Chain A
Amino acid sequence: MSSTLALQIGTVAQRSVLRTLRQPAMVVPALLFPMLLLAINAGGLDSATGLPGFPTDSYLTFALALTFLQGTMFAAMSAGTNVATDIETGFFNRLSLTPLRRVALLVGQLSGVIVLALIQATTFLVVGLTAGAGLEAGPLGIPVIVAISLLSTLGFGSLGALVALRTGSGETVQGLFPLMFAALFLSSMALPRNLIEIDWFRTVATWNPVSYMLEGIRSVLIDGWNGEALALGFLTSGGLAALALAAASSALRTRMARE
């Protein structure tokens, strides 16, 4: 990478991180809300561990994976909203008038939510493990969880940026939230897929890539080293990141309407 490109990415990233962390209204719910839900669900659904075939006797351990994915949803909204705000206020035009390269603009803009995701992942791990969640893979499982989490964040964040770049509207980005909500709920977030009774629900959850991101993280917490689950977790999160980043890059090219 040339030094100019690195400087550009660093400059845009610095701004992105600063403006994300300077918005408590964005950061605090992104940290608190998933943990609150974790606490509620761990208590509310603990009896589910009594179901034959439930993979663990701790619903807290089972549900911990969900907190990371909830964090990525917040990331998508945050990234999209920030890009849309830049477009709506004209700050995007300001950036377009500099020698800034497209790749630097996109990667830099997403850096803020990546940092937020890192803070989230660290916090959730510390809180979850302190509260008694298991980590069957041991300490080496931590970077794996963080990696899947960050890849998912990059993917969903790029989706948010894609919508913002295509529409230039913060309101439309907000409209993503119900879709992400649906993606999360129609997955194996509450029960393992093999214990979902309703056929159509189980089918949707099987086709839903979010299920595999959840199961990849969950496998580290419950099973230890489950190659298949990990492979699918990385494939879906990495695949989403690659596709969404490419689509966002294309949308950025159109928005800048230059070469």
Chain B
Amino acid sequence: MTARGFRSVVLGVAWRNLHGFFTNPALFLPAMIFPLFFFTAFAGGLSRIESVPGFHFPPGYTAFEYAFVLLQASAFGGVFTGFAVARDFESGFARRMLMAAPRRRALIAGYAVSGLVRALFTISVVTTVAFLAGMKLHGAGIELVGLYTLALLVNFSAVLFGTGVAMRLRTFQAAPAMQVPVFLTLFLAPVYVPLGLLGGWVHTAATVNPITVVLDAERGFIAGDPVKAGLAFALLAGIGALFVFWALRSLRSAERATA
């Protein structure tokens, strides 16, 4: 198969997925609403946390929470793409695609591209709302590029994770298997306060959670004072590579099952 053929499969799968996302309110609205809810509830309802002794984040609590909501929107955007893959297998449409595509890796690439576009859209909406709510970003151009690149790398990993789960389980009942690990990974991190202000076992869990490094790096970019950026990128590159392998192996599993 030529590169052009590979590209056409990727674009075809991505187009179909995006078309379904943007034209179906049942898919579109939750992906938009939940990050905004989290942002409103955390940044709005918890803003007093700024006054907790030991809390120090110059751009303010809204920006502090924006970093988390950015990650959450990116990660769950990936999970929702995994849902779409599961639905395709359950309805039988995935079999059609597996039979039609000469190089089936293009299907995974297509899902990844659609996940990326969805994430970009959601991030734009959340960012717009955050600015309207008075968020201040202290970071300059390159730092903001770093900020959004981190978010998109999280999305990339989440898409591949979700796609892999969907291809192995091939049913929409797989939804909790995608949601719960991502949820736990996100929330066992410094969501509301910095790591130093976390208590008990959550502090321990957050210390070993790679998402903590990513969150800290994001907040560093927002504050214009990059911290752990190199480590965050390295971790996400490693996680991304792991999930590429995971997705490809899961594709093999799906091929065997539908042969």
Contact = CB atoms under 8 A, between A and B. Distances in A.
Touch test A–B (CB under 8 Å)? yes
Interface in A182-213: 182, 185-186, 189-191, 195-198, 200-201, 205
A191 B43 CA distance: 12
Contacts, number: 100
Contacts of A45: 46, 49, 192-193
A29 B176 contact: yes
B29 to A, nearest CB: 7
Given A47-B193, A47-B197, A186 B49 contact: no
Interface string A1-45: 000000000000000000000000100010000001101101111
Interface residues of A, number: 34
A181 B200 contact: no
A50 B52 contact: yes
A171 interface: yes
A257 interface: no
Contacts of B190: 44
A50 B55 CA distance: 11
Contacts of A46: 198-200
Which of A43, A51, A196, A201 has the largest number of chain B CB atoms within 10 A? A43
Interface residues of B, number: 37
Contacts of A137: none
Nearest to A187: B45
A189 B46 CA distance: 10
Interface string B198-216: 1111110000000000000
A128 B84 CA distance: 37
B40 A185 contact: yes
B48 interface: yes
B202 to A, nearest CB: 3
A171 B26 CA distance: 8
A40 B47 CA distance: 19
Interface string B180-204: 0000100110111100011111110
A48 interface: yes
Interface in A141-171: 171
A44 B187 CA distance: 9
A178 interface: yes
Nearest to A193: B45
Contacts of A191: 45-46, 48
Nearest to A182: B37
Nearest to A59: B199
Nearest to A188: B45
A40 B202 contact: yes
Contacts of B54: 47
Interface string B39-81: 0111011111101111100000000000000000000000000
A78 to B, nearest CB: 16
Nearest to B201: A43
A197 B48 CA distance: 6
B45 A201 contact: yes
B121 to A, nearest CB: 18
Most chain B C-beta atoms within 10 Å of own C-beta, residue among A44, A178, A196, A201: A44
Q: Which 9 A-B pairs have the closest CB atoms?
A: A43-B202, A46-B199, A185-B41, A47-B197, A201-B44, A197-B47, A43-B200, A197-B48, A198-B44
Interface of A: 25, 29, 36-37, 39-40, 42-48, 50-52, 171, 174-175, 178, 181-182, 185-186, 189-191, 195-198, 200-201, 205
13 contacts: A40-B202, A44-B199, A45-B46, A46-B198, A47-B198, A48-B49, A48-B193, A178-B29, A186-B40, A189-B45, A190-B45, A198-B44, A205-B45
